[in-house]
């Protein structure tokens, strides 16, 4: 995250005494040690007549709430520990305090923040900020209006505004405020009167909406913790617009028994790209017809790597498809394990350098959410891929709720794979599925647009399976016109594709779209070969089929054959590939 310089404030001079009171504090001659903090990026302002505030480092913004302190801890000790851990701004937000004790507490906290050269802002109360002489305030839309606050506090004070909607973003951008607090990102018990959660995609829309008028420095706030911070920072980053400058938290630091470690952990995670992040487009394969030979050659290499590394595929899947999923995983060279035990997910995510987790919602109940959350979190932290199959997503309200929760709150899934009805549901369209099978038959161009939209929103890979499979990472899109209708007549053939995708990503994640394409191609060409009949490299037989029962067996055989060819470096099977790049 980059720290944005604050725009010049062109207010007229204010009453000197007020401005003096709000001038940034001077740095003590011998500041205490600051293990995680960088030196201030510009010297403190000598007089209040200078109209430019120094840049504020919003990287890790602590908002206080004494009511959340663990028993025996003081706010003073917590704030100091948090600053030592890397907090760059402190906001005193003490809703229960009357004016006199609020000012007393603010003076004590300011003495600490000043000694570390960290700005102290006061929540809502311009009068308290003036009384204490701290660096500024944070105000919402029910508090004193911005222009009055600016007039009282003077041009050099830091003033932040809350933003919960596009409308508030545009109002804030029309002021000379120094930053915005955008939230709540997720539901949070810390602020029961907060408006509806924005989720990372809402934060992204807000940042994008002001990017052409006034790209204000922004912190995301609400429900942010060590486990979700990377996902929030990653997913909230807009394309071609300034990303958030930092994160603001209350409970993740204030309620911690070790606020110094909690702060340094949050700062490290928020600054470092998550292990599952997409590489920039310049580092991924170019998807055009010209590069087809390279794309196919890479597909062969990916499948060969599955055979070589035998990745563990942790299936959290429905009972109906477990046998075919295990058989398909074995046929492509992976190692399947079926486990729905929450206590095992951490071990399974870390058991091997080559592993991944497939979450299939076929027979989900709300009680499974804890298992899904743990599996996603452990695999995210281990940098292992998660493939999500939202089976029957549009069939019932319960399934829709699980899907919404999975994508908004549970963490990051690398791939969402589903049929048309499922992907439309994930996109937020009010599709009513009759069961797990898609009854939609939309226009291809529109389906391509839906896939691209969800991939952009989730910043992951989205795969819509059907007569034509559509894959996209939001930037590159490819249509696969391979496969056979008999695949639709075998229970679990769709679900078991998730096993292959997971195995491919477990061994090759530098370009996730290419890895998924490799898995789909091997899978669909195997289906075509099962119907057409091919000469077995093992027995020499040629035997095709047009009936589902024998197709199931022939399909497994061909999947094995195709992937064994890859192991030998043979690319002939790719001659049947039929792709269209968009
Ligand atoms: C950094 C930051 N962003 C938003 C808020 C919310 O402020 P507000 O809308 O004034 O609500 P209360 O905090 O007063 O409940 C904030 N405090 N800090
Ligand atoms: C103070 C505040 N403002 C919010 C907003 O959406 O404007 S959410 C919030 C509370 C954030 O607390 P926690 O980090 O414990 O979830």
Question: What single DSSP character describes residue 159?
Answer: E
Protein residue closest via CA to atom 5 of ligand 1: 162
CB of 123 shorter than 6 A to ligand 1: yes
The percent of residues above 70 in pLDDT, for the chain, comes to 88
Give the residue extent of every domain in the chain.
57-159+222-271, 281-581
Residue pLDDT, tens place only, 236-263: 988 778 899 999 999 999 999 999 999 9
Q: Name 76's bridge partners.
A: none
pLDDT of residue 240: 74
Strand-pair category, 355-360 with 89-92 = unpaired
Query: Among the options 134, 357, 495, 502, which is catalytic?
Result: 495
User: What is the rounded CA–CA span in Å between residue 217 and residue 561?
Assistant: 55
Protein residue closest via CA to atom 7 of ligand 2: 183
User: What is the rounded CA–CA span in Å between residue 510 and residue 507?
Assistant: 9
Q: What is the arithmetic mean of pLDDT over 459-476?
A: 95
Give the number of other Cβ atoms within 10 Å of residue 35's Cβ: 10
Contact criterion met (CB below 8 Å) for 3 and 58: yes
pLDDT of residue 34: 42
Residue 495 annotated to the active site: yes
pLDDT of residue 348: 97
User: What is the rounded CA–CA span in Å between residue 52 and residue 281?
Assistant: 37
Evaluate whether the domain defined by 281-581 bears CATH number 3.40.1830.10.
no
Residue 8: is it exposed, middle or buried by C-beta count within 10 angstroms (0-12/13-18/19+)? exposed
Residue 570 clears pLDDT 80, i.e. is over it: yes
Q: Kindly indicate the confidence band of residue 433, based on its pLDDT and cuts at 50, 70 and 90.
A: low
Q: Which of 189, 192, 195 is nearest to 181 (CA)?
A: 195
pLDDT of residue 322: 95
pTM: 0.80
Residue pLDDT, tens place only, 131-153: 999 999 999 999 999 999 999 99
Contact criterion met (CB below 8 Å) for 551 and 558: no
Q: Which long-range contacts (CB under 8 A, 24 or more apart) does 30-35 make?
A: 31/115, 31/116, 31/117, 32/115, 32/116, 33/84, 34/83, 34/84, 34/116, 35/84
User: What is the rounded CA–CA span in Å between residue 562 and residue 529?
Assistant: 9
Protein residue closest via CA to atom 10 of ligand 1: 140
pLDDT of residue 441: 64
pLDDT of residue 38: 40
Q: Higher model confidence: residue 501 or residue 33?
A: 501
Residue pLDDT, tens place only, 99-138: 999 999 999 999 999 999 999 999 999 999 999 999 999 9
Backbone angles phi, psi at 571, to 5 degrees: -110, 5
Protein residue closest via CA to atom 1 of ligand 2: 191
User: What is the rounded CA–CA span in Å between residue 282 and residue 314?
Assistant: 32
Residue 13 clears pLDDT 80, i.e. is over it: no
Give the N- to C-terminal CA distance of the chain in Å, as an integer: 31
Q: Higher model confidence: residue 506 or residue 438?
A: 506
Q: In 255-375, at which residue ranges do the beta strands (DSSP E only) sit?
A: 312-316, 335-338, 355-360
ipTM of the complex: 0.99
Pocket test for ligand 2, best of 193, 248, 254, 255 (most atoms within 8 A of CB): 248
CB of 219 shorter than 6 A to ligand 1: yes
Q: What is the arithmetic mean of pLDDT over 310-337?
A: 96
Backbone angles phi, psi at 382, to 5 degrees: -80, -5
Q: What is the arithmetic mean of pLDDT over 7-31?
A: 35
Residue pLDDT, tens place only, 177-210: 999 999 999 999 999 999 999 999 899 999 999 9
pLDDT of residue 24: 39
Contact criterion met (CB below 8 Å) for 481 and 578: yes
Q: Kindly indicate the confidence band of residue 36, based on its pLDDT and cuts at 50, 70 and 90.
A: very low
The ligand minimizing its distance to the Cα of 142 is 1
Residue pLDDT, tens place only, 289-322: 999 999 999 999 999 999 999 999 999 999 889 9
Contact criterion met (CB below 8 Å) for 14 and 151: yes
CATH code of 57-159+222-271, in short, is 3.20.20.70
User: What is the rounded CA–CA span in Å between residue 337 and residue 348?
Assistant: 9
């Amino acid at each position: 995250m980059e720290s944005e310089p604050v725009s010049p404030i062109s207010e007229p001079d204010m009453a000197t005494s007020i401005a003096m009171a709000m001038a940034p504090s001077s740095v003590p001659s011998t500041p205490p040690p600051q293990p995680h903090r960088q030196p201030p990026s510009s010297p403190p302002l000598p007089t209040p007549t200078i109209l430019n505030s120094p840049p504020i480092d919003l990287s890790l913004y602590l908002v206080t709430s004494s009511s959340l302190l663990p028993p025996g801890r003081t706010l003073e000790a917590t704030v100091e520990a948090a600053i030592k851990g890397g907090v760059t701004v402190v906001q005193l937000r003490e809703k229960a305090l009357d004016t006199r004790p609020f000012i007393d507490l603010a003076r004590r906290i300011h003495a600490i923040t000043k000694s570390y050269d960290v700005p102290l802002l006061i929540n809502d109360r311009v009068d308290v900020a003036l009384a204490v002489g701290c660096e500024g305030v944070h105000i919402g839309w029910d508090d004193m209006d911005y222009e009055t606050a600016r007039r009282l506090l003077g041009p050099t004070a830091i003033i932040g505004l809350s933003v919960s909607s596009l409308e508030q973003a545009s109002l804030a951008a029309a002021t000379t405020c120094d930053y915005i607090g955008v939230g709540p990102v997720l539901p949070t018990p810390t602020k029961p009167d907060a408006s509806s959660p924005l989720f990372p995609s809402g934060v992204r829309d807000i940042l994008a909406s002001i990017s052409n008028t006034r790209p204000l420095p922004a912190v995301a706030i609400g429900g942010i913790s060590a486990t979700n911070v990377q996902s929030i920072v990653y997913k909230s980053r807009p394309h071609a617009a300034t990303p958030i400058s930092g994160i603001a938290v209350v409970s993740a630091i204030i309620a911690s028994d070790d606020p110094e470690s909690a702060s340094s952990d949050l700062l490290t995670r928020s600054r470092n790209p998550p292990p599952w992040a997409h590489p920039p487009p310049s580092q991924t394969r170019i998807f055009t017809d010209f590069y087809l030979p390279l794309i196919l050659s890479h597909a062969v290499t990916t499948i060969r790597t599955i055979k070589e590394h035998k990745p563990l595929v942790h299936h959290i899947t429905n009972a109906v498809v477990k046998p075919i999923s295990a058989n398909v995983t074995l046929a492509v060279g992976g190692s399947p394990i079926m486990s729905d035990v929450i206590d095992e997910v951490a071990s399974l995510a870390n058991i091997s350098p080559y592993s991944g987790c497939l979450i299939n919602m076929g027979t989900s109940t709300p009680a499974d959410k804890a298992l899904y959350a743990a599996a996603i979190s452990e695999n995210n932290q281990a940098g292992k891929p998660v493939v999500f199959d939202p089976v029957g997503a549009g069939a019932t309200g319960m399934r829709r709720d699980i899907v919404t929760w999975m994508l908004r709150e549970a963490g990051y899934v690398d791939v969402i794979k589903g049929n048309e009805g499922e992907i439309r549901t994930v996109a937020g369209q009010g599709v009513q599925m009759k069961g797990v099978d898609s009854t939609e038959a939309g226009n291809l161009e529109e389906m391509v647009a839906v896939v691209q939209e969800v991939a952009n929103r989730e910043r992951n890979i989205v795969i819509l399976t059907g007569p034509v499979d559509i894959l996209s990472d939001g930037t590159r899109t490819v249509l696969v016109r391979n496969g056979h209708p008999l695949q639709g007549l075998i229970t679990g053939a769709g679900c078991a594709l998730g096993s292959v995708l997971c195995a491919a990503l477990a061994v090759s994640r530098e370009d996730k779209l290419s890895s998924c394409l490799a898995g789909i191609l091997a899978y669909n060409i195997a289906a075509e070969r099962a119907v057409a009949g091919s000469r077995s490299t093992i027995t020499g037989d040629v035997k095709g089929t047009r009936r589902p029962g024998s197709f199931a067996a022939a399909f497994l055989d061909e999947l094995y054959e195709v992937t064994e060819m890859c192991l030998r470096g043979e690319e002939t099977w790719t001659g049947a590939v039929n792709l269209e790049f968009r």
